[in-house]
Chains A and B, each alone.
Chain A
Amino acid sequence: MTLALKTTDLAKTFDIGKRLIGPPRAQVRAVHPVSLEVRQGETLGIVGESGCGKSTLARMLVGLTPATSGTIEIEGRALDRADPAAFGRLIQYVFQDPVSSLNPRKTIRQIMEAPLRQLHAMKGRALEARIAELFDAVNLRPEFLNRYPHEFSGGQAQRIGIARALAASPRILILDEPVSALDVSVQAQVLNLLAELKAEFNLTYLFISHDLAVVEAVSDRIAVLYFGSVVETGPAEKVFAAPRHPYTKLLADSAPVVGRPLGGAQSGELPDPLNPPAGCAFAGRCPRASDLCHRDIPRLRVVEGDQFAACHHPVPH
């Protein structure tokens, strides 16, 4: 099995309160060293709540945010220079807010042409044909090409965003909350379209979302992020059904499910990023925490089979 994407200790630290000269006032570790492997043709779901670093991780993967340390390999080739154009041919990004990701002053045709011209030096008839092909793939009518972004609904705009990402003929798509701005009835349309495209173009997906049920529905494997670290990875059908990290369990128990009584989870809040705790970041909220947890940061390790957790006291099965 070939690896589509591999990160080794990828990390990002942001400076807070930059000064003209001298060191910044403070630093925040948005992403702690993360090592991930995504197989060819796989969908890896990344779940986490706000502030867990999932968007920063995604932006590093496409070169929009330079990594502080660590490496990224795409199909065996190292890409360590943060140059979105170099990344662009291999890995593309679908944005959360479909309307904001389209320049309001350009027609859809101009938006679609940019990656084809810049990354693949296409022009003339080939360009036209390629755009028509892409638009067909995302089920949009060709007459939309001459319109401006504000004329489209969220679902349509997101299809355009997907078509633009596909225009670069990438191997991997990073989908950053691609349906969270959409209504549920439209959300399902887009999710199903993404599944079709994946098969058709033989793509690999990184699907980022805060919605557990959506991630579970689309992913082969899932990685759970908490406070900048991966706390659990495993097959989609196991991670929420039989969570091993207490945080994953908390997430799964918090999801509103018809018929489940309220009030199961009363468990505090995220630690302060400017003043992170010494050991496990979840220890302060964790019912299973011991002295060890407050002292040592747990490493991600096998719990059972292909399920990994970064926990000193994983939840027993």
Chain B
Amino acid sequence: MTVFLRLLFRNKLAGFGAVVLGIIVVLAVLTPVLPLPAPNETNTASRFLRPLSEGHLLGTDHLGRDLLSRLMWGTRLSLAVGFAAALAAGLVGAAIGVMAGYFGGRTDNVTMRGVDMLMAFPYILVALAIVAVLGPGLLNALIAVAVVNIPFFARNIRGVTVGIAHREFIDAARLAGMGHARIILTEVVPNIVPVVVIAMSTTIGWMILETAGLSFLGLGSQPPQADLGSMLGEARSALITAPHTSIVPGVMILLIVMSVNLLGDGIRDALDPRLRSGALARPMATTRVERGHAPAPKGEGLLRIDDLETQFHVGARVYKAVNKVSLDLQPGECLGLIGESGSGKSVTALSVMGLVASPPGVITGGAVRLEGQDLIGAPYDLLRSLRGRKVAYIFQDPLSTLHPLYRIGDQLIEAIRVHEPVSRAQAHRRAVKLLEDVRIPNAAARARAYPHELSGGMRQRVGIAMALANDPDIIIADEPTTALDVTVQAQILALLSDLRRDRGLAILFITHDFGVVGQLCDRVAVMYGGRIVETGPTAAVLAAPAHPYTRRLIACVPELGGGQRILAAIPGLPPAVDDLPAGCAFAPRCDKAQEACSKGEIDLTGDGRQVRCLFPEGAV
């Protein structure tokens, strides 16, 4: 709760809304005890007094009634009605939504068709029809506003419930012997409460407006009783002669609704975990760079990465995802970058072309040189002209990495035409040729397909074709086969291997699978906790790992053909990169660790075959 309030008031506008609304609510509650004239006391002698008149701070209306008093009583009424309508609509709508979403099937079908039917009316028609049946009156207006909003709540909550009902913890609860009623109450409802609160807090303002609107039309509160809407409605005929009688209630509605909306937005932001972590930030076109000076190149290479540091800044926390990583890639070479999740291998790969999502990503140091040219902090136009033309990417999940609404042929054509001014027809011919090159059968017809119409393996072939579109020198493949089945993976790896040989491509291959590295890569670099701990020719590293982490990680991986057995395991967990230990990050899990391992930097030593360890395995 305190966390919630702190988050809420971090948003200054929400705080402002809370204060304004608080004042209005307090005044409205206190209205009966405030020294105000009776709101309905008419005095035709002093009609339409201007504001700041004697005895009438805000003036009087067309019957000489005190506007301030009427305003306060009207505010009371409007607030009460708005909140009541939101509460009623929210609870009823949520109940319907939860039932439909949880039970699904026919219950869902019938309920949602009813809801759709209600939503097929512009809402005012429903409200007008309800008022027509029940007759004008404030309570009836409240009912009308609540009823027309129920479908919106029901739909929203149903959607959320469907998502929750298919989560595995619901299955677990059923297996634990819980019945439907208990599951709905203890498993589903607690998870949708924030959504209901958000939905209510963002629609209360709307409901206050709606009830005011019905009163404005003369269908809500009936004279002499007045809410803000009917005050405005009565004042309309005197708009030109006595504008203050309109402005006073109108401004009050505006103030109430605006403060409710500001507060509602704040509540939404504070309750939504994604907003809390800043995950809804939009990634910029290139990764943010905050670098002192570029380190001198440590050697030659088509692509050289020197002391690269990429961090994620989330609030006050700094996650050192990539910590002084140096790599080089020679023409035609395949370099494997291997590590567990969170080791920084993908972030390293994305840093090369400035594709790390930013915010929260920041490149804080190091250099990435393509044929000697430093790309860190390079102007956007330069980076853009190199992306896809010199260095192309293949990503992990081919369904989410292809645009779902463009035909794959058009996506390939675009890839060609952003770098080369060729005609569409020409680009189309090349696109079909590319699809043939990646062994997609019936390429010309498949070019017209959308990504969802292809299988996972075919989609990844499209991803590869797109990477090849501009004949790049380097392909960076970020776990390109992890999402695929093993038989498809074998096909894709074979394809990549052939293409590499035919076209002389250099490949930076990111994976967590030693088997894949062993089959495809010339050299391998092993990452742990944002650092490279070992690198060397693949065969040498796999046959005789020098770093204890590499050795034990290889031992963890069961190999086919070994039969039933107890596996080697590494105790403990990989380190959190926002709280790295001093010295070797693997030391806390390492059975060979000595005191020296946890003190000070440990360098990557050796030549060609390098290891970052004080006590490496065997002789290097």
Would A and B touch once assembled, by the CB under 8 A criterion? yes
Partner of B560, one of A103, A115, A212, A262: A212
Specify the chain B residue showing the minimal Cβ separation from A189. B569
Which residues of chain B (438-496) have a CB below 8 Å from chain A? Answer: 455-458, 485-491, 493-494
Question: Which residues of the other chain, B, contact A197 by a CB distance below 8 angstroms?
Answer: none
Closest approach, in angstroms, between the C-beta of B189 and any C-beta of chain A? Answer: 9
Tell which of B350-358, B398-406, B570-578 binds the partner: B570-578
Report yes or no: A262 in contact with B485, Cβ–Cβ below 8 A: no
Report yes or no: A49 in contact with B558, Cβ–Cβ below 8 A: no
Knowing A64-B171, A185-B340, say if A192 contacts B569 (CB, 8 Å). Answer: yes
Knowing A93-B175, A118-B178, A260-B519, say if A254 contacts B490 (CB, 8 Å). Answer: yes
Knowing A119-B176, A192-B569, say if A236 contacts B564 (CB, 8 Å). Answer: yes
A230 to B239 alpha-carbon distance, docked (Å): 81
Partner of B490, one of A185, A236, A258, A264: A264
Report yes or no: B562 in contact with A213, Cβ–Cβ below 8 A: yes
A118 to B570 alpha-carbon distance, docked (Å): 37
Which residues of chain A (191-232) have a CB below 8 Å from chain B? Answer: 191-192, 195, 210, 212-214, 216-220
Knowing A216-B564, A257-B515, A269-B455, say if A251 contacts B175 (CB, 8 Å). Answer: no
B379 within 8 A of A: no
Closest approach, in angstroms, between the C-beta of A171 and any C-beta of chain B? Answer: 14
A126 within 8 A of B: no
Report yes or no: A216 in contact with B168, Cβ–Cβ below 8 A: no
Report yes or no: B570 in contact with A188, Cβ–Cβ below 8 A: yes
B520 within 8 A of A: yes
Partner of B176, one of A59, A168, A189, A255: A168
Report yes or no: A183 in contact with B340, Cβ–Cβ below 8 A: yes
Specify the chain B residue showing the minimal Cβ separation from A254. B490
State the interface size on chain B (CB cutoff 8 A): 67
Which residues of chain B (340-384) have a CB below 8 Å from chain A? Answer: 340-341
Partner of A269, one of B486, B488, B570: B488
Question: Which residues of the other chain, A, contact B516 by a CB distance below 8 angstroms?
Answer: 256
Knowing A64-B174, A100-B168, A219-B564, say if A258 contacts B519 (CB, 8 Å). Answer: yes
Return the CB mask of A254-277 against B: 1 if under 8 Å, else 0: 111111111111110110000000
A145 within 8 A of B: no
Interface residues on A, range: 35 or more
A193 to B600 alpha-carbon distance, docked (Å): 35
Which residues of chain A (54-74) have a CB below 8 Å from chain B? Answer: 59, 62-64
Partner of B168, one of A95, A189, A217, A237: A95
Question: Which residues of the other chain, B, contact A214 by a CB distance below 8 angstroms?
Answer: 558
Report yes or no: B490 in contact with A262, Cβ–Cβ below 8 A: yes
Question: Which residues of the other chain, B, contact A106 by a CB distance below 8 angstroms?
Answer: 186-187, 190
A33 to B325 alpha-carbon distance, docked (Å): 54
Report yes or no: A93 in contact with B171, Cβ–Cβ below 8 A: yes
A41 within 8 A of B: no
B553 within 8 A of A: yes
A186 within 8 A of B: yes
Partner of B557, one of A153, A184, A220, A252: A184
Specify the chain A residue showing the minimal Cβ separation from B513. A256
Knowing A164-B176, A212-B560, A217-B564, say if A255 contacts B486 (CB, 8 Å). Answer: yes
Question: Which residues of the other chain, B, contact A241 by a CB distance below 8 angstroms?
Answer: 561
Report yes or no: A252 in contact with B560, Cβ–Cβ below 8 A: yes
Report yes or no: B563 in contact with A185, Cβ–Cβ below 8 A: no
Closest approach, in angstroms, between the C-beta of B518 and any C-beta of chain A? Answer: 3
Knowing A185-B552, A263-B494, say if A270 contacts B489 (CB, 8 Å). Answer: no
Report yes or no: A266 in contact with B494, Cβ–Cβ below 8 A: yes
A88 within 8 A of B: yes
* Residue in B168, B174, B489, B514 whose Cβ sees the most chain A Cβ within 10 Å: B168
Specify the chain A residue showing the minimal Cβ separation from B485. A49
Report yes or no: A256 in contact with B490, Cβ–Cβ below 8 A: yes
A13 within 8 A of B: no
A135 within 8 A of B: no
Report yes or no: B487 in contact with A103, Cβ–Cβ below 8 A: no
Specify the chain B residue showing the minimal Cβ separation from A121. B177
Report yes or no: A97 in contact with B490, Cβ–Cβ below 8 A: no
A161 to B168 alpha-carbon distance, docked (Å): 11
A92 to B172 alpha-carbon distance, docked (Å): 9
A101 within 8 A of B: yes
A64 to B6 alpha-carbon distance, docked (Å): 42
Report yes or no: A64 in contact with B175, Cβ–Cβ below 8 A: yes
Closest approach, in angstroms, between the C-beta of A212 and any C-beta of chain B? Answer: 5
Report yes or no: B490 in contact with A103, Cβ–Cβ below 8 A: no
B238 within 8 A of A: no
Knowing A49-B487, A262-B497, say if A102 contacts B570 (CB, 8 Å). Answer: no
Report yes or no: B562 in contact with A217, Cβ–Cβ below 8 A: yes
Knowing A184-B557, A195-B566, say if A258 contacts B542 (CB, 8 Å). Answer: yes
Report yes or no: A187 in contact with B176, Cβ–Cβ below 8 A: no
A237 to B564 alpha-carbon distance, docked (Å): 7
Question: Which residues of the other chain, B, contact A269 by a CB distance below 8 angstroms?
Answer: 455, 457-458, 488
B385 within 8 A of A: no
* Residue in B177, B563, B566 whose Cβ sees the most chain A Cβ within 10 Å: B177
Return the CB mask of A267-293 against B: 1 if under 8 Å, else 0: 101100000000000000000000000
B498 within 8 A of A: yes
Question: Which residues of the other chain, B, contact A164 by a CB distance below 8 angstroms?
Answer: 172, 176
Partner of B520, one of A85, A189, A262: A262
A50 within 8 A of B: yes
Question: Which residues of the other chain, A, contact B340 by a CB distance below 8 angstroms?
Answer: 183-185
Partner of A256, one of B179, B341, B457, B515: B515
Partner of B175, one of A84, A254, A257, A259: A84
A212 to B574 alpha-carbon distance, docked (Å): 25
A184 to B342 alpha-carbon distance, docked (Å): 13
Partner-B contacts on A (CB < 8 A): 18, 20, 49-50, 59, 62-64, 84-85, 87-89, 92-93, 95-97, 100-106, 114-115, 118-119, 153, 155, 161, 164-165, 167-168, 183-189, 191-192, 195, 210, 212-214, 216-220, 236-237, 240-241, 250-267, 269-270
Q: Can you list 23 residue pairs at the A/B interface with Cβ under 8 Å?
A: A18-B105, A20-B113, A49-B485, A103-B169, A103-B173, A106-B187, A114-B176, A185-B340, A185-B556, A195-B566, A213-B557, A214-B558, A216-B562, A217-B558, A251-B486, A255-B486, A255-B515, A256-B519, A262-B493, A262-B494, A263-B498, A266-B494, A267-B487
Query: Can you add 14 more A-B contacts, CB < 8 Å, to A101-B167, A214-B558?
Result: A84-B174, A103-B187, A114-B177, A184-B557, A185-B556, A186-B573, A188-B556, A188-B568, A191-B567, A192-B567, A213-B557, A219-B564, A252-B560, A258-B515
Question: 7 smallest A-B Cβ distances: which pairs?
Answer: A258-B518, A256-B515, A118-B177, A263-B494, A188-B569, A115-B176, A254-B490
Partner-A contacts on B (CB < 8 A): 105-106, 109-110, 113, 167-169, 171-179, 186-187, 190-191, 340-341, 455-458, 485-491, 493-494, 497-498, 512-516, 518-520, 542, 552-553, 556-571, 573-574
